[in-house]
Amino acid sequence: MEIDFLSLIRKKREGLELTKKEIEFFIKKLINREIPDYQVSAFLMAIYFQGLSFEETANLTLAMMNSGKILKFKEKYVVDKHSTGGVGDKVSLILAPILAALGLKIPMIAGRALGHTGGTIDKLASIPNFKTKLTYQECQEAIKKVGFFIVEQSEEIVPADRYLYSLRDATATIESIPLITASIMSKKLAEGIKFLLLDIKTGNGAFLEKLAEAKKLAKTIIKIGKLLGKKISIFITDMNQPLGKAVGNSLEVIEAIEFLKGNQPMDLKKIIFTFAQEILLRTKLVENKKEAKKLVNEVIKKGKALRKFQELIKNQRGDERIIENYDLLPKARYQEDYLALKSGYLSFIDTKKLGFLNNFLGGGRTKMEDEIDYSVGFVFVKKLGEKVEKDKPILRIYANDKVKLKEVKKQMKEVILIKENKPKLPPLIYWYGRT
């Protein structure tokens, strides 16, 4: 008997387990556009509340991976890094060119902004003319020619995640461990990589705010990795403040370029070097961390990593002149400092609220079809734990709308907390695991 999708929604709503065949039916119907959005949304909400067993999660991951073509590479060192999403998380924009400059191949399929977090693809889309989709053939050529590419899901590669990802963003169904697992792993398995480094964010700006939840996701992904024989390293890292200093699409592109030019905020530097070292060690390109650090420093100092980033932009038809001329990037009309209300220490940042304020300024979506304003966002002058002085800037706000700018300034009182005593800082890295 033909399965009908409404009965699957009911089944999941009641918390019953779906079979492999039913999950494959869902994905097939989804990519053929044979299920209306309202039914897919209801199904996602049922999964959000009822969860999925490990077997269902693995079956969903595989069905999503097989919804499009799977990339294949003959090269030896084909690797990738992915993050569960954060505020100001521009690590992929920096790490990928560093690794490519060291001879690794990185076929990166990334996402657009999700909820209050930024997306690598939206950041790159802020570069004039940058093409965020490549055909299967162009992906293969980019690996040979440049060593890496960064693209979004397409009709050809993981179309199921392309559709579910944007629907989850608009239906408040992001924070689900099985849905995050299937979304990330379907993309990463379709890349044809030999090794994956996964950065799971936790803290008040992450989807999984509690460390216990982040560990649950890590363990599910390790189990999937083992099941499919994939080499994976996972770091759970802190998201109780933006990573680095900039939040917002073109502002983060500038910060990434500056990093490759040698201007490296401490927290971002630690994360980049730790991840690069792990990847170089696990691919056996180096024998120890010291050697890895030396290589990474070298490609940055000699400008090789920056040139790789420029090559990526050129290969994906973007305006590569932005590397030297930031004025070619979208620029906000208004820039205003948010000043400390009193002297003391920067003790707390409501990072999720900050991400939503960036969306409010136009930097993110509330509906699938929303256009993004790439120029808006924030640049911090102070980081958590630093001394601040009354009436001195904590951050700068970038906006294109005066009314919204005023509202954000007002709301900022709830985002930033200053206390008399120096706060205890959270660690940058909480946990590490691997297959």
Q: Shortest Cβ contact with ligand URA: which residue?
A: 183
CA gap 256, 336 in Å, rounded: 22
Q: Pick the binder of ligand URA from 61, 183, 277, 347 (CB under 6 A).
A: 183
Q: Pick the binder of ligand URA from 23, 180, 399, 418 (CB under 6 A).
A: 180
- Kindly state the smallest distance separating residue 317's Cβ from ligand URA, in Å: 24
Choices 35-43, 57-65, 179-187, 408-416 (CB under 6 A): range interacting with ligand URA: 179-187
Both structure tokens of 268 = 């971002």
* C-alpha dist (Å) from residue 355 to 237, 245, 360: 18, 13, 9
Nearer to ligand URA, 31 or 114 (CB): 114
- Kindly state the smallest distance separating residue 205's Cβ from ligand URA, in Å: 13
- Kindly state the smallest distance separating residue 175's Cβ from ligand URA, in Å: 9
Choices 46-54, 178-186, 210-218, 290-298 (CB under 6 A): range interacting with ligand URA: 178-186
Binding mask 262-281 for ligand URA (x = CB under 6 A): --------------------
Cβ proximity of 361 and 118 under 8 Å: no
Choices 177-185, 217-225, 312-320, 401-409 (CB under 6 A): range interacting with ligand URA: 177-185
> Is there binding between residue 153 and ligand URA (CB under 6 A)?
no
DSSP 8-state code for residue 321? G
DSSP 8-state code for residue 17? P
Nearer to ligand URA, 101 or 198 (CB): 198
Binding mask 186-205 for ligand URA (x = CB under 6 A): -x------------------
Q: How many other C-beta atoms lie within 10 A of the C-beta of residue 54?
A: 14
- Kindly state the smallest distance separating residue 91's Cβ from ligand URA, in Å: 13
- Kindly state the smallest distance separating residue 157's Cβ from ligand URA, in Å: 13
Nearer to ligand URA, 161 or 320 (CB): 161
Listed as own residue / partner, the contacts of 360-363 with beta carbons closer than 8 Å and 24 or more positions apart are 360/404, 360/407, 360/408, 361/248, 361/397, 361/398, 361/399, 361/400, 361/401, 361/404, 361/405, 361/408, 362/400, 362/401, 362/404, 363/113, 363/118, 363/248, 363/249
Tell which residue, 364, 9, 382, has the closest CA to residue 174: 364
> Interface residues for ligand URA in 49-108 (CB under 6 A)?
84-85
Helix 159-169 vs helix 37-50: crossing angle, to nearest 10: 80
CA gap 227, 320 in Å, rounded: 41
- Kindly state the smallest distance separating residue 211's Cβ from ligand URA, in Å: 17
Q: Which residues pair with 232 in a beta bridge?
A: 196
- Kindly state the smallest distance separating residue 111's Cβ from ligand URA, in Å: 5
Nearer to ligand URA, 183 or 204 (CB): 183
Q: Pick the binder of ligand URA from 8, 100, 114, 142 (CB under 6 A).
A: 114
Active-site amino acid positions: 82, 161, 168, 183, 187
> Is there binding between residue 111 and ligand URA (CB under 6 A)?
yes
> Is there binding between residue 178 and ligand URA (CB under 6 A)?
no
DSSP line for 18-72: PPHHHHHHHHHHHHTT-S-HHHHHHHHHHHHHH---HHHHHHHHHHHHTTS----
Q: How far is CA 348 from the centre of its chain?
A: 23
Nearer to ligand URA, 102 or 239 (CB): 239
Give the 3-state secondary structure of 324-337. CCHHHCCCCCEEEE
CA gap 225, 221 in Å, rounded: 6
Binding residues (CB under 6 A) for ligand URA: these are: 84-85, 111, 114, 180, 183-184, 187
